[in-house]
Chain A
């Protein structure tokens, strides 16, 4: 897919561009805020990666300009380390996701993938299916091989996030944010523990694992076919 990268730090830009290109994406890199707005509005990108601090124009102003030009393209913005308020400000301005520098490339990749293939707002999916596992987001019912499985609300939310991103990697940090609204790094194995509880209900009785651990990245749901 086509990605626009707005980043003024040459090293970071090279690291991100190279990594994304190796994953098969086409990356346009710009470092000046004013050029970026014109480019973002003129061209059709799948994802924009935007540094919060750019020369020429502030990251927030860029998002607002792009949005006011009617562009719904997903925006992932990069914030400085520890910027407690940056996330909220960025999301308020119209950003879709954020990532704190420095980051692992796998984290960036997972988030870019999650953003880009988000279903367009033409119609919300209500039933998600992977292999013989099916969840209904409206009735909040989970079935596997025809069996109804009882999940705690939090377990359902965890499975929902994984299923919405089926076939893609969801990182530990993404799960913390989206399932528990934790915007900090817990010192205990919160994610691992809950994943293992979920597995005990979803995977264990059926012999075939659908929830997979991707070492060093996160988790994914797929039927392995």
Chain B
């Protein structure tokens, strides 16, 4: 991987930018620490020098000036390893006492090197430096300076400490950045490879989930969900194409027989009329199958979501009950509706399709159950989500068949005698899916219970 390639990788770029930024901040922080600490040390030394001068200046005066000269002279003598310098001169600049002589006078604080000083006694290191100041007195001028080696030591110690600190921090940062960049890069690569496989036609390939439940996992789950949908759609397309071909051959065959029979056997216009009417009904049912298939396909494509509006399920189901109440009654069944919800049961959806969903389920119960069946329509709420049960006391659906009935054009053995396309439940499933709702088939003991559960809003 060349540097240019590396720079094009998002995790690396992020890590590099972040490291650089962090190192800059650490550097600034260290600089501030260094400056503040140095200033503090310098001011400590100045304080010490001032205290020293103040204690000597007490002796400044007409009568005690000679004592001052004596004290300064004694101090200069007694100090073995001079970590301070002192020089007392009279008004004319003549040397009176001190361990250095001939220091030019100056106003501000100044750092004096031992090599520049003229010592009365030659002691100490040539590299010593003194932080010194002249103080004018009544009868002369006093210089006091203190060795600043601790400042210099401290400064160089701090500088070393901070430099190593910075180096270690930077190294750690860069290593961390490389580690995380590599980790992320690997996960991105783990994404890219399966997707490349998918585009090569391996629709079953999936992005690995790390199990860290982080944002990348979230995206991975979404991508896998999308691939799953894609795979299902493709399989559906393949399945339904062959199903349609199969399913349409039967009614077309029947239609052909009917017309063939009419052509060969029908004698009277009435007989022809009957044959034509029957043929039209056959064609209508074929058209209906096509229509339902196309509707399912369009619903599954999901474009209708744009037109979702708030729908009160309580009212919608009351309408469905209102329409089918007497239809069930005429079929010898009883349709009841109970709404176990506090007030409104609002979901976002397409009212037209939702009516069709429940109408379909109720009609299934009416058509596939013997007279005397109790059909129940029940709306209940749990944790802010709504579930609708459409139950009947009919023959039910065997457990083994429950998955199959959602397949397009699938029909139960015993339902083959009644007319129907085998698309009703596929349509129900498609509408439910469009609304994010789940459809489950349960045993109503006896009978079937279809549970349509909407997700909590």
Contact = CB atoms under 8 A, between A and B. Distances in A.
A100 B326 contact: no
Given A182-B355, A188-B331, A193 B424 contact: no
14 contacts: A82-B290, A82-B292, A104-B280, A154-B323, A186-B363, A187-B363, A187-B424, A188-B324, A188-B366, A189-B327, A189-B330, A190-B323, A193-B327, A193-B330
A196 B280 CA distance: 26
Main secondary structure on A side of the interface with B: loop
Given A82-B298, A187-B363, A187-B420, 5 more contacts: A85-B304, A88-B307, A185-B288, A188-B363, A189-B327
B359 A84 contact: no
B293 interface: yes
A104 to B, nearest CB: 8
B326 A194 contact: yes
Contacts of B323: 154, 180, 190, 194
Contact of A85 (B297, B298, B327, B331): B298
B299 A193 contact: no
B64 interface: no
Interface residues of B, number: 33
B363 A82 contact: no
Interface string B247-280: 0000000000000000000000000000001001
B369 to A, nearest CB: 12
B399 interface: no
User: Which A-B residue pairs are the 9 nearest by beta carbons?
Assistant: A82-B294, A84-B298, A193-B327, A82-B291, A187-B363, A188-B363, A184-B356, A188-B327, A193-B330
B298 A181 contact: no
A197 interface: yes
A2 B90 CA distance: 132
B367 interface: yes
Interface string A146-157: 000000101000
Contacts of A82: 290-295, 297-298
Contacts, number: 67
A8 B412 CA distance: 42
Interface string A88-123: 100000000000101010000000000000000000
Main secondary structure of the interface of B (DSSP, over half): helix
A183 interface: yes
A186 B330 CA distance: 15
A182 B359 CA distance: 9
A81 interface: yes
A102 B356 CA distance: 21
A221 B96 CA distance: 139
Interface residues of A, number: 27
B322 A154 contact: yes
Nearest to A176: B323
A84 B327 CA distance: 27
A193 B287 CA distance: 25
Interface in B296-352: 297-299, 303-304, 307, 322-324, 326-327, 330-331, 352
A186 B359 contact: yes
Contact of A181 (B322, B352, B366, B424): B352
A106 to B, nearest CB: 11
A201 to B, nearest CB: 12
A190 B324 contact: yes
Interface string A188-209: 1110011011000000000000
Nearest to B326: A193
B291 A81 contact: yes
A82 B307 CA distance: 18
Nearest to B293: A82
A152 B319 CA distance: 13
Contacts of B294: 81-84
Given A82-B290, A82-B298, A190 B327 contact: yes
A19 to B, nearest CB: 15
Nearest to A185: B288
Contact of A81 (B287, B324, B363, B420): B287
A187 B367 contact: yes
Contacts of A83: 294, 298
Nearest to B292: A82
Nearest to B306: A85
A115 to B, nearest CB: 22
A177 to B, nearest CB: 10
B433 to A, nearest CB: 15
A99 to B, nearest CB: 13
Nearest to A103: B287
B332 to A, nearest CB: 13
Contacts of B419: 187
A175 to B, nearest CB: 12
A190 B326 CA distance: 9
B120 to A, nearest CB: 108
Contacts of B293: 82
B291 A100 contact: yes
Interface string A57-92: 000000000000000000000000111110010000
A88 B352 CA distance: 11
Nearest to B331: A188
B31 to A, nearest CB: 67
Interface string B404-444: 00000000000000011000100000000000000000000
Contacts of B326: 193-194, 197
Contacts of B303: 85
Contacts of A182: 355-356, 359
Interface in A131-165: 152, 154
Contacts of B280: 104
Interface in B99-148: none
Interface string B357-398: 001000100110000000000000000000000000000000
A84 B304 CA distance: 9
Contacts of B292: 82
A69 to B, nearest CB: 28
Contact of A84 (B288, B290, B295, B424): B295
B441 to A, nearest CB: 19
A181 B363 contact: no
A188 B303 CA distance: 29
Which of A154, A183, A184 gathers the greatest number of chain B CB atoms within 10 Å?
A184
